[in-house]
Structure formats: structure tokens, C-alpha cells
Amino acid sequence: MKKGFSVLELVISLMVIASIIAAFTPLITKKFSSTIFGKGGKVNLTTDCTDKFNEFCTLCDDKRCIRCTLDPNTCAGDQYKDTASCTCKDCKETYGEDCEKCTEKKCLTCPDGQYLDSDNNCQLCSDKFTNCAICTIDKCAVCENNYILNGNDCIADCNTLFGPNCTNCTINACTACKNGYALKNGTCQSCSSLFSNCTACSASTCSACKSGYTLKNGKCEIDCSKFGANCTSCTTSACTACKSGFILKNGACTTCSALFGSNCTACTSDKCMACNSNYTLYNGNCLTDCEIKLTKSTFCTGNDFIGVCTTNNKPLCVTGKNMGNSITLSIPSGVSIINADQNCDTETQKCCWKGHTASLYNCNNDGGSTYSGCERTVCNWDAADYICKNFKAGGKNWRLAKIDEMESWAKYSVGKAKGLQLCDDSPGYSSAWCDRSNSCLGVSPYNNCYASHVWSGSFYYSNVYYYELNEQNWEKYAAEKTSAFSVRCVTEL
């Protein structure tokens, strides 16, 4: 066995190899061509595709390019790379006029107003969603002009079409308005413009009014009840008309009796026009014969005197203050005038105590008195009787009043008609308060001064009647003549 090749053998071997290579060279330099069999029959594949297609096709058969090196980025935006023709083709030609962008396998985008259906076809949004301008296959995104999106529906844009106060509408008309507005002539008009001072309404009637106004017959009128139940018409500041039987005075409804007394039955705002029986119309007021006499009297006037009608309609002139409490109402000689803290023998003397005859701790000047509730002159009965019988004012005969003549005096006291300046035994009743004082020495009983009590000239057995003002009530009692009470004198007119 040989261990290796000789030089001659090596040379021969190389020559053989070279001959073989030379024999296959034509096959290597010729383009690929082959025949294969497929399901449809014989298919001829070749790399010689330039003439059939273009330079980008590197493998093809008789009908289509199999391998295409065309760069798809060189295609226009509305084109795609078609491998079978190895060219750029229009999306519209393949997927229809509405396809804007696509791939070789499907359409990608449609124009505004269309969407891709499940078959990759562009369909109108308005066909799927009424009045929709932009959508996807599942929902509407933007509505057409004059419509707004409500969930997945396009409804009429009421505010744009019919103004900010329209809350419901069709494309042709507003059908409902927000609170405070009513639909009239196809538009929303404010209730306040349709009906003055109205806050809720329909086109034909108001249903609610603003504060200070009341609803009447579908309209708002000023709420006159703030001027009282009897006011029937008014402005915002005053009543202008009243119910029958009431009188308009200073912007309010009142009555004839309130203006001119309980006996006035008919009146204007300025004067009484008619009176009850037993009363006479005099200078616009209803007066009794007694009151007319008092009005005509020129004597019983001023701060110290007051005209009083008794219960039997008799006119009297009464000293308005206690005797001894003014220059006019002086105490005549024959009466002892002593200080409130001095003693008097009331059994034998006619005495008057002057000064603080009311308790300094229990008196005041309430009620507009012209002299203090504490500074009252009080006298025993003998002094009081003597003073009035010797009082000479006006050249008339004066005396203490009879008990029946005093019955109506409370209505002339301070805090009521004013003028007869009585003081009250209790505080808080619109009169001066002059509670009793332990200062009238010798007075029986208790040495008390009683400035709220007034002597009469009428007797009750051995005692004398008096009247007391207590809590504005005029009350009748009897007391010993040695007591110390206020003094009022009367004369007939």
C-alpha cells in the first residue's frame, strides 16, 4: 500500500478537477429557472422578472411577483405596496373611493364622517348614528352643527339654536325653558318681562311672585297685607285704598272711632262726619252737650284746671293739681301748712303737709307730670273742705266733689287723657308713682301721707268717701277725716 501521492499523480489530479469546473461554468453563470408543481398544476418560477414587472421583483412566476424589494415608504400616503405587481397602488382603487390610508391587506382610515366597518369598508357615521359627524364603529364622537352629544345620541343643541334659557327642543323649535322663563312665540322669555315682579310662569299666566308681592288673577300685585288686613291696594311704601268701613290716613287703614273717638260713625281722614245718638258733631268731633260746654268755656283752661264731665253729663271745672302745689292753687289762711315730717293735731287743726309726702324710695315722675310724684301737698278733710270753700278763682263758688261726680275722673288722669294729674299707688301704669310715706305725723292711722288718694265731699256715716288711683283703676273707699289725702276742688260750669 502506498503511503502518499507522487508529484505526477498530484498534477494529474489537479488537471481533472480543472476540467470538471470548466464543464459546469455555463450552468453557474445562467439565471435561475425551475419548474415546480403546485395544487393548480405546473408553476414556472424565475428570477428573470424585470421585463414582466420591474427591477424590484427578484422572484416571480408567469402571473405575479413572488419576492418584491420595493420600499413601501416610497409609496404616496394614499398608496400601498402591492407585492403581486411589485408596484404602489391607490387605496381608493382597491378599497373604494372613501379609503384614505391602507395596507396591502386592509383599509386603515376613512375621511371624517365615516368609519371602518367590520369588513374594512368606510361607512357614513350619519347612517349609523343620526346627525353624527365623526365616529368610530362603536360610538359617535362629534355631532353635526346645531347638535350636541348626549350619551351616544346627537340631540338638538337648544342653547345654540334658541338661546341659553331653552332646555329642550327639536331642530326647528324650542319646546321647554328653564325655571323663571316661559315659552312664547318659539322663544324663552323671562317671567319678569312677561309679568311684572313674576318669578315663575307660563306664557299666559304668572304662578309665583317675588318677595313683597302676592299672586292675584295670574299677576303679581304688591303684598298689601304688610299694611294691615284692611288694605286693598298699595304701593311698596304705603297703603292707597282700604276695605269698606275703613279710612285711609297717612298710608294706613284706620277707623273713624280710632281717629275721632268711639262715637264717630262716619268720617273722612280729616274730620268726623256723623256721630252716635246722644252725641253732637262739633268741630269735626263727636261731643256730648257737656263736652261742648267745656270746649266753649274760656275759664277752665291752662295747666291748673281741667274740664270734666260727670257720669250724668254735668260739666265741672276741677283743679288739675293738688291745692297748694302752684301759685294759682294756693291754700288760704286759716289752714296750718307744715313740713311733711312735722306733727299736727288733726282733731283740732286744719293741717296740710307740704314736701315729700310720698316715699322717696317709692315715687317717680312717670307719665309726664309737671310736678314730682314725691312733691305732693296732702291735707286732712277739715282742711280740704275749708280750702275749696274759700277758693276764689274765677269768682266762682268752689267745693269738694261729690262721690258721683268723681266716678269718671280716672279717664282724665295722666297716662290716659292727661290733665287731671293724679298719681298712682303702684309703679308702671303711665302715671307718676307716689306710694305712701310715713311723714305726716298726727295722721290717724299710721302717720301716713296718701298722695294717691283724693278727698270727696260725700260722707259714709262718720267717715268720708275718697277715690284712689291704683294700677290705673279708680277705686272708691271711705276713711277717717283725720287722714291726709290729696285735695281737688270743683265748680260747676
- DSSP result, 172-214: S-EEEE-TTEEEETTEEEEHHHHSTTEEEE-SS-EEEE-TTEE
Contact 166, 188 (CB under 8 A): yes
Task: Report the alpha-carbon distance of residue 267 to residue 350 in Å, rounded.
Answer: 53
Residue 385 in grid coordinates? 273742705
What is the per-residue pLDDT for 236? 81
Contact 368, 430 (CB under 8 A): no
- pLDDT tens by residue, 126-181: 999 999 999 999 999 999 899 999 888 999 898 888 889 999 888 888 999 999 99
Residue 391 in grid coordinates? 277758693
CA dihedral over 200, 206, 207, 208, signed as positive or negative = positive
What is the DSSP-derived secondary structure letter of residue 332?
A: P
Which residue do the cell numbers 281741667 mark?
A: 306
What is the per-residue pLDDT for 23? 43
Task: Report the alpha-carbon distance of residue 214 to residue 226 in Å, rounded.
Answer: 11
Q: Residue 266: CA atoms inside 13 Å, Cβ hemisphere, count?
A: 3
CATH topology of domain 157-222: 2.10.220
Phi/psi for 224 (5° steps) reads: -75, -10
Residue 147 in grid coordinates? 347638535
Task: Report the alpha-carbon distance of residue 248 to residue 262 in Å, rounded.
Answer: 17
Contact 380, 350 (CB under 8 A): yes
Residue 152 in grid coordinates? 351616544
SS3 assignment, position 134: strand
DSSP secondary structure of 352-417: EEESB-EEEEEE--TTT-SS-SSB--EE-HHHHHHHHHT--GGG---EEPPGGGSTTGGGGBTTTT
Q: How many CB atoms lie within 10 A of CB 278?
A: 10
What is the per-residue pLDDT for 132? 93
The dihedral over CA atoms of 267, 273, 276, 281, expressed in degrees to the nearest 10, equals: 130
Task: Report the alpha-carbon distance of residue 231 to residue 241 in Å, rounded.
Answer: 6
DSSP alpha helix (H) spans, 197-353: 256-260, 289-296
Task: Report the alpha-carbon distance of residue 71 to residue 348 in Å, rounded.
Answer: 153
Walking along the chain (493 residues) 10 residues at a time, the average pLDDT comes out as 49 52 40 53 80 89 89 89 90 88 89 89 91 91 91 88 89 90 90 92 92 87 86 87 91 90 89 90 88 88 90 93 92 95 93 93 77 91 98 95 95 77 89 91 93 97 96 94 97 93
- E strand or H helix at 317, and its extent? strand 315-319
Q: Where in the chain is the domain with CATH 2.10.220?
A: 157-222
Residue 419 in grid coordinates? 290733665
Task: Report the alpha-carbon distance of residue 96 to residue 92 in Å, rounded.
Answer: 4
Burial profile 348-387: b = 16 or more Cβ within 10 angstroms, e = fewer: eebbbbbbbbbbeebbbbbbebebbbbbbbbbbbbbbbbb
The whole-angstrom distance between residue 288's C-alpha and the CA centroid of its chain comes to: 51
CA dihedral over 53, 59, 62, 63, signed as positive or negative = negative
pTM of the model: 0.53
**β-pairing, 41-46 with 206-209?**
unpaired
